[in-house]
Structure 1
Amino acid sequence: MTTEADPAASAPGEGTTRATISDVARVSGVSTTTVSHVLTGKRPVAASTRERVEAAVQQLRYRPSRLARSLRVGSSQMIGVVVPDITNPYYGQLTRGLVDSLGAEYGTWVCNTDGSTKRERSYVADMVARGADALVMTSVDVEGDAVAAAVAAGVPAVSLGESVDHPLVDRVLAADEEASQSAVEHLVARGARRVGIIEGPRSFGHSREEGYLAALAAAGLKAPQQLRVHGDWTRVGGREAMLRLMRLPQRPDAVFCANDLTAIGALDAVRSLGLRVPDDVRIVGFDDIEAASLVSPALTTIANPAYETGWSAAKLVLDRLLGRHTGSRRTVTLPCRLIVRETS
């Protein structure tokens, strides 16, 4: 039995060998520089020449090497994105805004820390080592050592939230304190007098708690410590925290939750106890993820501009990368708004 090799199978780009720009130049009968001009569109090329190059690209199934380009221009064209919970729809919307704002020139590496400082530090160090051009992150590392090391290595960083305090790290913030205050004021206006709060992990900022406290103080109401509990931003964590509150000898008549997944978990807890929302307890969330309007009863919440946050973070990053800003930290603060539905 004899086996004959298929000539087409060994052609560059047709089999396991990846075609190079030199292969495209050889097949189309032009220089590699001309091929580059066709691919980038940065220099005019005769129509007939362009057609030959494009035909060769298609024949060879040529794909430009990002690695080769990064070595040539000294840039990976990649942005590292670090978030605590990629399953939270808020971060999906945020990343979409970031990618849309960055445009086709940049890709993203998205890392999920599960709220672990150890993971965050490892991811940041790894992305810097891999040549990430910049970092965009929701940090849980209160020390900020990894981010500081990245900035010292010449990698710009943008913090999504107030957890990173560094003179060269730009920040994109939601107007958390004012929005949280309006949420609690809404509950008080509906008759609530014992208002609890389920916050995020202790390592995150406290602006939402400060808004909660400000609203209660303005109404002449107390905020006993037993009504202030911590969750982990998840639905399961929200359910567990709400059960702790609802099993108090004097349970709350309203609860402000620091994000929507927590609030949806709180709804689960109330149902499991045979109680009703808003009749027995009122609930307000924060973020306005899509599920907030789909649960029953529909969740009253604060609309947190996730897409706009990602979009703004990309603009800050590009300003640094393109040399449009080289100075001290800038802060972009985005407004939030209360959306009243059925749980309050």
Structure 2
Amino acid sequence: MPSVKDVAKLANVSVGTVSKVLNNDPTVKQKNREKVLKTIKQLNYVPNIYAKSLSSRKTKMISIVSSTLGDEFHERLVSSIDQILSENGYDSIFFSLLSRERLKRFSNPSHFLYQTDGLIVSSLSLTKMFENKTLPTSKPYILVDTRDALNDCAFIDNYYGGKLVGQNIKLYENSKVYILGGYEPDEAFSSGVFSERIIGFIDELVNNRGFNRKNIVIMKVGLSLKESYEFGKKFTPNQRHKFSVFALSDIIAFGFIEGMKTLGIKPPDNYSIIGYDDLSYSENIELSTVRQPIEELGKVSAELLLKKINNKFEDKIHKSLIPEFIERNTN
């Protein structure tokens, strides 16, 4: 297997010149650059990335830590993050923080996740996870899908998203409004997005539309299609009037709608319902919802982290993206 010395010898340049060409150093003369590239191709030379990482003190790896796996939101988010990393020559390590035991290991500054060039932490709140409210590392990191005053973060404005639902949801005289969702099995792994949506929604209804706060009912339901389906099958509002529902996720909205259908109750004839996320199936079921710019969030987060790694971003990062309301046929 040819070495960098073999390339330098055949190209009749120094080893330092070959190294500069491999690292796209703009100070290399064009004539020497062409000779080196031609020789690399001739010898079929492949740089040793491990040796390169030792000399540059960079691993070209990024750790991605998430609160969950397998759901569409995070699959799309991580995919968009990984695309930007790949385009910039980085690979990623994915670590799902599913238990207190994993959190304990993640709290150790020697954990392997802290040996990469930086970290992206998705849908988790450091203020709830760590006593000092920061990661135990000096490596660059950014929180994604979490609003955090102390740490660099990129997030979608869920408070504004809640207000959008409050502005658009149909209200009925002498009727109640139900908020479905928000159940967190362990608050340590909660990002706070559901609370922000609820607060924005209630603020809009009460302060701008004059709706009675006593007629807003929060029903704690887990982020599960099965659980929301079972909830819908048993849901019997104590009224003859049409009612309104804000489901904190399209997953919950879909399950609830299907469960209610077993009772012969369907939107928009019997009630209005708005979801949140705009997932791949939301248009097919004609669900009115709030669209989150998921791919843009992943792209922006990865780009900001890479700038931090390359010392091109020194100011505190608080990047907010704006969701939009999508009207369909359930409201």
Report deviation, 1:52.
Answer: 2.7
Instruction: Work out which of the residue numbers 50, 71, 76 in structure 1 matches 2:37.
Output: 50
Partner of 1:267: 257
Do 2:121 and 2:143's aligned partners in 1 also have CA atoms closer than 8 Å? yes
Secondary structure of 2:62's partner?
Answer: strand
Per-residue CA shift, 1:301-329, capped at 9, x if unaligned?
101111121222223323322223334x3
Per-residue CA shift, 1:136-187, capped at 9, x if unaligned?
322056523188453x52122222244645x2x1122222122212213322
2:197 is aligned with what amino acid?
R
Gaps of 5+ in 1: 1-11, 13-18
Instruction: Work out which of the residue numbers 50, 58, 68 in structure 2 matches 1:85.
Output: 68
Do 1:144 and 1:164's aligned partners in 2 also have CA atoms closer than 8 Å? no
For residues 168-183 of structure 1, what are the structure 2 equivalents within 5 Å? Answer: 169-183=151-165
Do 1:86 and 1:92's aligned partners in 2 also have CA atoms closer than 8 Å? yes
Partner of 2:51: 68
Question: Following the alignment from structure 2 to structure 1, what is the Cα–Cα distance between the partners of residues 221 and 6?
Answer: 57
Per-residue CA shift, 1:252-298, capped at 9, x if unaligned?
8221111222222222222233321222232211111222112x2x1
- Are 1:247 and 2:215 matched, yes or no? no
Secondary structure of 1:232's partner?
Answer: coil
Number of aligned residues: 315
Instruction: Work out which of the residue numbers 273, 277, 287 in structure 2 matches 1:287.
Output: 277
Partner of 1:153: 137
| CA distance 1:127–1:281, change in 2 (3 Å) | farther
Per-residue CA shift, 1:77-124, capped at 9, x if unaligned?
22222223332222233234333444323222222334x454355457
| CA distance 1:94–1:129, change in 2 (3 Å) | closer
Gaps of 5+ in 2: none
- Supply the RMSD in Å over aligned alpha carbons: 3.4
- Are 1:136 and 2:125 matched, yes or no? no
Question: Following the alignment from structure 1 to structure 2, what is the Cα–Cα distance between the partners of residues 243 and 227?
Answer: 18
2:165 is aligned with what amino acid?
A
With the length of structure 2 as denominator, give the TM-score of the two structures. Answer: 0.79
Question: Following the alignment from structure 1 to structure 2, what is the Cα–Cα distance between the partners of residues 148 and 128?
Answer: 18
Question: Following the alignment from structure 1 to structure 2, what is the Cα–Cα distance between the partners of residues 104 and 146?
Answer: 34
1:337 is aligned with what amino acid?
E
Partner of 1:338: 325
For residues 1-344 of structure 1, what are the structure 2 equivalents within 5 Å? Answer: 12=1, 21=4, 32-33=15-16, 35-42=18-25, 43=28, 44=30, 45=32, 47-57=34-44, 62=46, 64-102=47-85, 103-114=87-98, 116-120=99-103, 122-123=105-106, 125=108, 126-139=111-124, 142-145=127-130, 148=133, 150=135, 152-162=136-146, 164-165=148-149, 167=150, 169-189=151-171, 193-202=175-184, 203=187, 204=190, 205=192, 206-218=195-207, 219-223=209-213, 227-243=217-233, 246-250=235-239, 253-294=243-284, 296=285, 298-327=286-315, 329-344=316-331
2:158 is aligned with what amino acid?
D
Do 1:299 and 1:342's aligned partners in 2 also have CA atoms closer than 8 Å? yes
Question: Following the alignment from structure 2 to structure 1, what is the Cα–Cα distance between the partners of residues 104 and 48?
Answer: 29
Question: Following the alignment from structure 2 to structure 1, what is the Cα–Cα distance between the partners of residues 231 and 322?
Answer: 28
With the length of structure 1 as denominator, give the TM-score of the two structures. Answer: 0.76
Report deviation, 1:209.
Answer: 0.8
Question: Following the alignment from structure 1 to structure 2, what is the Cα–Cα distance between the partners of residues 66 and 193?
Answer: 65
Q: Higher mean Cα deviation, 314-323 or 117-126?
A: 117-126
